[in-house]
Amino acid sequence: MKLAFISDIHGNAAALDAVLHDIKLRNVDQVYVLGDLCYRGIEPKRALELVRALNCEVIKGNADEWVIRGVGEGEVPNQALEMMNRERDWIVSQLDEECIEYLKERPTELNLTFGDVTIHAFHATPNSLFEVVQTDDSDEVLTEKLMAKQADLYIYAHIHKPYVRCINGKYVINCGSVGLPFDGLKKASYTLIDIEAESIQVSNVRVDYDVESVIRQFKESDYPNHELLANILDNAKL
Model confidence at 40, in pLDDT bands (50, 70, 90)?
A: very high
In one-letter notation, the amino acid at residue 27 is N
- Say which residues have a Cβ less than 8 Å from residue 35's Cβ, sequence separation at least 6: 7, 8, 58, 59, 60, 61, 62, 63, 64, 106, 123, 129, 157, 158
Spatial contact of 60 and 107, defined as CB atoms under 8 Å apart? yes
Angle at 50 between CA 28 and CA 188, to 5 degrees: 65
- Say which residues have a Cβ less than 8 Å from residue 115's Cβ, sequence separation at least 6: 195, 197
Can you give the CATH number for the domain in which 224 is found? 3.60.21.10
Q: What count of other Cβ atoms lies within 10 Å of the Cβ of residue 110?
A: 17
**How many domains does the structure of the chain reveal?**
1
Q: What is the pLDDT of residues 69-84, one digit of tens each?
A: 999 999 999 999 999 9
Spatial contact of 178 and 6, defined as CB atoms under 8 Å apart? yes
Angle at 235 between CA 230 and CA 238, to 5 degrees: 80
Which pLDDT score, from 0 to 100, does residue 169 have?
95
Domain of 42, in residue numbers: 2-235
pTM of the model: 0.97
Model confidence at 197, in pLDDT bands (50, 70, 90)?
A: confident
Asked if residue 198 has pLDDT above 90, the reply is: no
| Percent over 70 (pLDDT), the chain | 100
Which pLDDT score, from 0 to 100, does residue 140 have?
97
Q: What is the pLDDT of residues 6-21, one digit of tens each?
A: 999 999 999 999 999 9
Spatial contact of 162 and 176, defined as CB atoms under 8 Å apart? yes
Cα 223 from Cα 93, distance rounded (Å): 11
Q: What is the pLDDT of residues 149-181, one digit of tens each?
A: 999 999 999 999 999 999 999 999 999 999 999
Cα 174 from Cα 102, distance rounded (Å): 25
> How does DSSP assign 104-168, residue by residue?
HT--SEEEEEETTEEEEEESSBTTBSS----TTS-HHHHHHHH--S--SEEEE-SSS--EEEEET
Cα distances from 216 to residues 70, 177, 211, in angstroms, run 27, 20, 9
Q: What is the pLDDT of residues 81-130, one digit of tens each?
A: 999 999 999 999 999 999 999 999 999 999 999 999 999 999 999 999 99
